[in-house]
């Protein structure tokens, strides 16, 4: 059934022509990663990088054609800017197209002009392990920074499991202006997530290159405008998204979130090493779910043995940026789409996020000050 539908989609896509070559997108080898599951269709249209901006109508036409096939419930198509296959890699699928101008040498995989030139500092919120509270921390820190008067962007780099629609409490569709996507405005910040662009139920069957392509689009094709700080909510682990970020944007640094248990700290160590390997400075470590505060009596219990991250930070030679309590309200408000920093700005938890935000800004200012200064007489 799935196979027949996939064939029918391919047939339908033969009616979609690339305006530049006049060839249909299937024959031109532009359709990548076509996946059909329970009537939901996903694929990418690969275009040469220099044509990425003007190819939105082609993407939309391919999506319409796929969606019109009887039996297809939804179709999601993304544009990916193709690049030459990695040397010694599997090759084939990303073979360079014969058409289109090729000014200069092709950038190596995952490289090219740096994205987000109008952003002052880009900070990756990461961990070596899933579920430690990266997204919750990223959202609340971003809101705290915005409340401190910064122009803040929040980018959800988790293509497989985006969190922002829920944590920001919106499933609004972003508008497009020409070929640029307008980020959503929420809680004083600009936000973008693949979750705003595709249906929530759509299974995310992306492969590595598609993750890179989608993430690059979220940076390069979104009209972020000038920002002081962009907070990037990283996916768990040490995969493609981490590589893309370290190669395609000038990261000011990474903030590693960890819980105090030993196992999580081992993973934090892995997270720190990963960024060191790609020459991204680690700005510091945050201990999340550090201690438990009883919602009834306020009594504090160090469930996991509080303070592990602080000791670990000292061992690794990175700064300890602060700890955050394990608090029911943090989870409830995050799930409800109203980050605690915005919903209860006077709470102790909000103050803890604000303190870390202040420290981060100071840290960024120190680093900026440490760079080469240009003196004009």
Ligand X SMILES: Nc1ncnc2c1ncn2[C@@H]1O[C@H](COP(=O)(O)OP(=O)(O)OP(=O)(O)O)[C@@H](O)[C@H]1O
Query: Which residues of 143-296 form beta strands (DSSP E)?
Result: 152-156, 176-177, 180-181, 184-186, 189-192, 227-233, 251-258, 282-287, 292-293
Nearest to ligand X of 13, 352 (CB atom): 352
For tokens 């690339």, name the residue. Answer: 18
Between 293 and 316, CB nearer to ligand X: 293
Work out whether strand 300-301 and strand 180-181 pair parallel, antiparallel, or are unpaired.
unpaired
Tokens 């290159």 sit on residue: 209
Binding-site string for Mg ion from residue 147 to residue 166, where x marks contact by CB under 5 A and - marks none: ----------------x---
Q: Is 195 in the site for ligand X (CB under 6 A)?
A: no
**Residue 135 in contact with ligand X, rule: CB under 6 A:** yes
Residues 270-289 that bind ligand X (CB under 6 A): 288-289
Which backbone phi and psi does 94 adopt, to 5 degrees?
A: -105, 30
Distances (CA, A) of 54 to 175, 178, 311: 16, 9, 51
Closer residue to ligand X, CB minimum distance, 141 or 334: 334
User: Site for ligand X (CB under 6 A): which residue of 66, 124, 191, 326?
Assistant: 326
Which is closer to ligand X, CB of 214 or CB of 326? Answer: 326
Please identify the residue of the shown chain whose CB is closest to the bound Mg ion: 135
- 204 phi/psi in degrees, rounded to 5: -95, 90
Taking the complex as a whole, the smallest distance from the CB of residue 233 to Mg ion amounts, in Å, to 6
- Listed ranges 25-33, 62-70, 132-140, 366-374: which one lies at the site for ligand X (CB under 6 A): 132-140
Q: Which of residues 118-137 bind Mg ion (CB under 5 A)?
A: 134-135
State which of residues 91, 96, 131, 149 lies at the interface with ligand X (CB under 6 A): 131
* Residue 150 tokens, joined: 């910064």
Q: Rounded distance, CA 258 to CA 285, Å?
A: 7
Q: How far apart are CA 350 and CA 344, in angstroms?
A: 7
In 3D, which of 48, 41, 45 has the Cα closest to residue 17? Answer: 45
Closer to Mg ion at the Cβ: 9 or 330? Answer: 330
CB of 62 to Mg ion, least distance (A): 30
- Beta carbon nearer to Mg ion, 163 or 166: 163
Cβ distance to Mg ion smaller for residue 121 or 126: 126
Site residues (CB under 6 A) for ligand X, limited to 156-175: 158, 161, 163
Task: Please work out the total of residues on this chain that contact ligand X, with binding judged by CB under 6 A.
Answer: 21
On whether the CB atoms of residues 324 and 290 are closer than 8 A, the answer is yes
- Return all residues near 263 (Cβ < 8 A) that are at least 6 apart: 129
Count of CB atoms within 10 A of residue 143's CB? 29
Contact pick of 46, 136, 242, 258 for ligand X (by CB under 6 A): 136
Interaction between residue 130 and ligand X (CB under 6 A):
yes
β 282-287/320-323 pair status: parallel
| Contact present, 308 and 316 (Cβ < 8 Å) | no
Contact residues for Mg ion, defined by CB under 5 A: 134-135, 163
| Interface positions with ligand X (CB under 6 A) | 127, 130-136, 158, 161, 163, 236, 288-289, 324, 326-327, 330-331, 334-335
């Amino acid at each position: 059934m799935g196979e027949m539908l996939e064939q029918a989609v391919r047939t339908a896509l033969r009616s979609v022509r690339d305006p530049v070559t006049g060839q249909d997108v299937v024959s031109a080898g532009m359709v990548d990663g076509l996946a059909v599951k329970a009537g939901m269709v996903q694929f990418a249209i690969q275009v040469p990088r220099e044509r990425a901006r003007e190819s939105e109508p082609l993407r939309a036409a391919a999506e319409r054609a796929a969606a019109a096939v009887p039996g297809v419930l939804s179709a999601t198509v993304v544009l990916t800017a193709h690049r030459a296959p990695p040397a010694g890699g599997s090759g084939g699928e990303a073979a360079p197209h014969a058409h289109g101008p090729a000014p200069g040498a092709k950038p190596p995989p995952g490289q090219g002009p740096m994205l987000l030139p109008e952003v002052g500092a880009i900070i990756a919120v990461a961990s070596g392990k899933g579920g430690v509270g990266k997204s919750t921390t990223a959202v609340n820190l971003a809101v705290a920074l915005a409340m401190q008067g910064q122009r803040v962007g929040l980018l959800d780099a988790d293509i497989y499991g985006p969190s922002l629609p829920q944590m920001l409490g919106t499933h609004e569709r972003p508008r497009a202006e020409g070929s640029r996507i307008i980020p959503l405005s929420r809680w004083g910040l600009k936000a973008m997530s693949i979750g705003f662009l595709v249906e929530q139920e759509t299974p995310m069957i992306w492969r590595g290159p598609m993750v890179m392509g989608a993430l690059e689009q979220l940076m390069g094709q979104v009209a972020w405008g000038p920002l002081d700080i962009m907070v990037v909510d990283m996916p768990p682990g040490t995969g493609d998204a981490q590589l893309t970020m370290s190669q395609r944007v000038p990261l000011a640094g990474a903030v590693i979130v960890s819980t105090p248990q030993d196992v999580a700290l081992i993973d934090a160590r892995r997270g720190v090493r990963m960024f060191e390997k790609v020459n991204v400075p680690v700005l510091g470590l945050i201990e999340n779910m550090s201690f438990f505060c009883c919602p009834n009596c306020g009594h504090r219990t160090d469930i996991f043995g509080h303070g592990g991250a602080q000791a670990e930070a000292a061992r690794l030679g990175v700064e300890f940026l602060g700890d955050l309590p394990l608090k029911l309200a943090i989870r409830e408000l995050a799930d409800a789409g109203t980050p605690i920093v915005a919903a209860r700005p006077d709470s102790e938890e909000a103050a803890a996020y604000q303190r870390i935000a202040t420290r981060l800004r100071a840290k960024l200012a120190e680093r900026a000050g440490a760079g080469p200064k240009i003196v004009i007489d």
